[in-house]
Amino acid sequence: MQKAKGSSNLVSRQITILSETHFHQSFAEKLLSLLKKCTSTKLLQQFHTQMLVNAIQKPNFLLSKIIDLKNFAYASLLFSQMPQPNDYAFNVMIRGLTTAWKNYSATLHFYYQMKFLGLKPNKFTYPFLFIACANLLQLTHGQLAHSSVFKLGLDADSHTTHSLITMYARCSELGSARKVFDEITDRDLVSWNSMISGYSKMRQASEAVGLFGKMREEGFVPDEMTLVSVLGACGDLGDLSLGMWVEGFVVKHKIQLSSYIGSALVDMYGKCGDLVSARRVFDGMLGKDVVTWNAMITGYAQNGMSDEAIKFFQHVPQLGPLNWANGLMHMHRKEAYNMISLFLLHWLICMLSVGAWMMHEEYLKTCLLKMRFHGMQ
């Protein structure tokens, strides 16, 4: 009888343990499900507290969500508290550093730290590493990473090859970029866009237009990124007919005239000397940003209409001098420098005369420092 009673207590304890385990698993699943929908750091910290209290060990899941909320300090703190971060944790940090915070030097640091710890970078590492190298113009680091890609057999991964093309193009190694492109056996639209954009941004306009023609021959339909790259090339070549075809394509396919493609159209028409069309596109745009205004003003300036350009400066006082400096960063260096040379002094005089801002020396210093930092002087 005593033995039966003892067995009954043992079974009861086992059932209790199983119930508690089931409850813990169910609670953890519910918590993680709610965590996915979290939209603020404050709420996320509350979830984090509950995870610690209930011994729910899901640091990678939490880290990924912190990256989505773009909280660098919080992400760095959590990562530093991981006793042995795995490749997933490193990849999440590398992605965040590259895309959310654009801290490209830190991306390189984490990549080499990852290798130092004996972890293998993979197809979730290299695309962001190459983007970082592209923005830092770190060709040597990019080439070393390219060698590693071959050794790991990742040269067939589309995301990796697209980033490689971008990296080589930004570093003025268009021959290497084209080699990577030509070796892609199954190209998609992103493959074509990467190479066409590389040619266009590096002022290889004829190659950009030629490759665009081949892309169309192979049956690919251009998207907004393709069209913006081609419009840049049209402006450099003075190819008004192709530029007009692009606008017709935009209208025919009911592509939204965003500031991105609208600014490219204004810029193209201005470079081709068709200021009537440039102004028509400009006036038809609902959302104009600094780049759009710069494109229209530059168009007038390049075509000898300096008075009209200065009038445009007077119409945009609300943008402020610092935003103008930021807008200039999106332009090609030579264009931005020419524009600064033509209008900076006129603009300061105009703004002072109408009293739009209480201009002081610090504004001018900041603008000039930004220009100097980006290699415009």
Instruction: Tell whether the model's pLDDT for residue 213 goes beyond 90.
Output: yes
Q: Are residues 89 and 146 in the same domain?
A: yes
Report, as an integer, the average pLDDT of 235-260. Answer: 96
Q: Is residue 99 part of a domain?
A: yes
Using CA atoms, how far apart are residues 72 and 96, in angstroms rounded to an integer?
A: 8
Mean pLDDT for the chain overall: 83
Taking Cα atoms as reference points, which of 189, 191, 122 lies closest to residue 162?
191
Q: Are residues 77 and 154 in the same domain?
A: no
Q: Are residues 177 and 111 in the same domain?
A: yes
Residue count (the chain) = 377
Q: Is 250 exposed, middle or buried (0-12, 13-18, 19+ CB in 10 A)?
A: buried
Q: What is the pLDDT of residues 146-200, one digit of tens each?
A: 999 999 999 999 999 999 999 999 999 999 999 999 999 999 999 999 999 999 9
pTM, to two decimals:
0.81
Q: Is residue 112 part of a domain?
A: yes
Residue with tokens 């866009």: 193
pLDDT of residue 180: 98
Q: Is residue 222 part of a domain?
A: no
b vs e for 18-42, b when ≥16 Cβ sit within 10 Å of the residue's Cβ? eeeeeeeeeebeeebeebeebeebe
pLDDT of residue 48: 87
Q: Are residues 137 and 54 in the same domain?
A: no
Q: Is residue 41 part of a domain?
A: yes
- Give the pLDDT band (50/70/90) at residue 15: very low
Name the domain boundary from 164, 186, 208.
186
Q: Is residue 353 part of a domain?
A: no
How many Cβ atoms sit within 10 Å of the Cβ of residue 178? 19
Q: Is residue 101 part of a domain?
A: yes
Q: Are residues 95 and 182 in the same domain?
A: yes
Tell me the residue type at 112: Y
pLDDT of residue 37: 86
Question: Distance from CA of residue 150 to its chain's centroid?
Answer: 26
Q: Are residues 149 and 101 in the same domain?
A: yes
Residues 137/173, Cβ–Cβ less than 8 Å: no
Tell me the residue type at 173: E
Q: What is the pLDDT of residues 309-329, one digit of tens each?
A: 878 877 764 555 545 555 555
Q: Are residues 110 and 156 in the same domain?
A: yes
DSSP string of 159-171, one letter each residue: HHHHHHHHHHHHT
Instruction: Tell whether the model's pLDDT for residue 357 goes beyond 70.
Output: no
* Residue 148, domain extent: 84-186
Q: Are residues 116 and 154 in the same domain?
A: yes
Name the domain boundary from 186, 202, 225.
186
Name the domain boundary from 186, 221, 239.
186
Q: Are residues 103 and 173 in the same domain?
A: yes
Q: Are residues 52 and 101 in the same domain?
A: no
Instruction: Tell whether the model's pLDDT for residue 363 goes beyond 60.
Output: no
Residues 237/200, Cβ–Cβ less than 8 Å: no
Q: Are residues 106 and 75 in the same domain?
A: no
- Give the pLDDT band (50/70/90) at residue 365: very low
Q: Is residue 298 part of a domain?
A: no
Residues 294/328, Cβ–Cβ less than 8 Å: yes
Q: Are residues 92 and 182 in the same domain?
A: yes
Of 116-130, 158-172, 192-206, 298-312, minimum mean pLDDT range: 298-312
Residues 290/324, Cβ–Cβ less than 8 Å: yes
Number of domains in the chain: 2
Q: Is residue 110 part of a domain?
A: yes
